[in-house]
């Protein structure tokens, strides 16, 4: 997803403001990666983008809190998993065969 330089600046400022307000001082937001995930997720549903971004953030937070990964690595891993699921859409959900073996 391509954003204008004005929008890129606004998103960078918003990200810094929000992370500071939430006291997440060590997070560098990869805006392009998150926007791309949100855009790709729209193939599932128009509202899947924000939901995907939230779940990726939650998963990354869990991974870093458990000491398994550094923040950026945890976000990248979660985004890659989400992107892999986007192509499946709503198929192969948690009730489908094989989900049990996904380390959930």
pLDDT given at position 97: 52
Q: How far apart, in whole angstroms, are the C-alpha atoms of residue 59 and residue 32? A: 19
pLDDT given at position 10: 94
pLDDT given at position 25: 79
- Distances from the Cα of 52 to the Cαs of 9, 34, 59, 85, 97, in angstroms? 23, 9, 10, 10, 22
Q: Is the dihedral of CA 87, 93, 97, 101 positive or negative?
A: positive
pLDDT given at position 39: 95
CB 52 within 8 A of CB 38: yes
What ranges do the domains of the chain cover? 5-89
CB 81 within 8 A of CB 36: no
Question: Per-10-residue mean pLDDT for the chain, 104 residues long?
Answer: 86 92 86 94 93 92 82 87 79 55 52
pLDDT given at position 73: 87
pLDDT given at position 1: 65
């Amino acid at each position: 997803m391509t954003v204008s330089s004005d929008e890129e600046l606004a998103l960078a400022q918003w990200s810094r403001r929000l992370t500071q307000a939430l006291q997440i001082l060590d997070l560098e937001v990869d805006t392009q990666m998150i926007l791309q995930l949100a855009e790709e997720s729209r193939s599932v549903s128009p509202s899947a983008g924000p939901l995907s971004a939230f779940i990726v953030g939650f998963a990354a937070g869990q991974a870093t809190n458990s000491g398994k990964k550094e923040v950026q690595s945890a976000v990248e891993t979660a985004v890659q998993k989400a992107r892999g699921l986007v192509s499946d859409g709503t198929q192969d959900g948690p009730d489908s065969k094989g989900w049990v073996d996904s380390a959930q």
